[in-house]
Every structure is written in structure tokens, then in C-alpha cells.
Amino acid sequence: MERQVLKTLLVLAREAITSTLTHAQEPVYEQLKHEPKIPYTHELGAFVTLHTQQGVLRGCIGNLWGVSPLYQMIPDLARQAAFADPRFRPVQAEELPSLVVEISLLSKMQTLQDWHEIQIGRDGVLLTHNYHRSVFLPQVATEQGWDLETMLRQLCRKAGLPDLAYTDDQCRFEVFQAEVFDETSV
């Protein structure tokens, strides 16, 4: 997507978090709500990830499939990442200046027949084994320095499965790609 669109999506995310903490206005959201336009009306899967400036994860929430227009979904995900990620305490107002917002816009899911087809650094992976599911965004394995088997073991653990469950014939894999950008890169 165009650089200006990416910047606007980041502003939407930060506006949502800031307004929740300080009751500030959300002018960009209000403008897009009253004058919706493409590509902000597209329904794509997306994640909002929050890091400290030191790179420490502070929250991450997303939808693998588009459930509402981007101009609505990005603020919703930003609020959830900041205040409802069960792994972290809610973001506080004094953290705002040191918070970095990252957004991942997802492609459509593609089913793979063989886990060997997964490409580290390119593919995000959704693992499904009966009622167990887990997902990693494409950048996770690279950021952690994992090879394919390590990433799949970690994905199994995240799903509450034994490490080698990914080798079971009942295990299904879907992959997707992501356009990832943050406030320091756009």
C-alpha cells in the first residue's frame, strides 16, 4: 500500500490508544467514518503489535480474516492490544511516548499439503490440530532466530500440543504473507 495510507493506519491505531487513556478526540477516525474511502474500506486480516522503544513486546492482537473495514478494525485491534491482551497489564498513559505501534496487513490464507513448503521469513503460519490452533506472524520466526522445525515446535507449544504434533497427519497448515510496518519505518 502507499506510504501515506500506512501512515494513516498507524495514526488511527495511536489515536485509539491515546483517546482511551486521555479522552482526546479521534479526528482521523471521524473523518474516515464520515467519508469512507478505498483502501480504508477494505476488509483484510490485520494485527496490531505494541513494542517499547527497546523492542519489548507490550501487546499484540489481530484477526486472521477481515471482519470490518480497516478504518474500524485497526482502532479496535489497537485498543485490544493495549488494554486487553491477557499476557500483559494494560498500557498506562505514561507509556505512550515510548510505545511503538506496528501493523501487519495480511494476505489471504493458503492451505499447504506439506509443512516443508513453509518459508521462514515470508510465511505466517496457522497450525490447526483437531481443536487446537495457534498462529505466528511471518516476522516471528526471523525475529527469534528460529529455523523451520523450531518454529513449528514453538507453534505446537503455543497451541498446547506436544512439540512434534506438527508431524501428525491430522495437523493442517495455512500460510499467509504480511505487509509489516511501524512508526519508525514509515
Helix ranges (H only) for the chain are 3-22, 27-34, 70-83, 138-144, 148-158
In degrees, to the nearest 5, what angle opens at C-alpha 121 toward C-alphas 85 and 43? 55
* Rounded average pLDDT over 41-63: 95
Instruction: Reduce the DSSP state of residue 147 to 3 states and report it.
Output: coil
Average pLDDT over residues 4-25: 96
19 pLDDT band (50/70/90 cuts)?
very high
Under CATH, which architecture does the 110-176 domain have? 2-Layer Sandwich (3.30)
What digits encode the pLDDT tens for the residues 57-99?
A: 999 999 999 999 999 999 999 999 999 999 999 999 999 999 9
DSSP summary character for residue 90: P
- CATH 3.30.700.20 residue window(s) in the chain: 3-106
What is the spatial distance between Cα 122 and Cα 118, in angstroms, rounded to a whole number? 8
Residue 36, pLDDT > 90, answer: no
What counts of helices (H) and strands (E) characterise the chain?
5, 8
Domain at 3-106: CATH code: 3.30.700.20
Mean pLDDT (the chain) is 96
Where along the chain do the CATH 3.30.1490.150 domains lie? 110-176
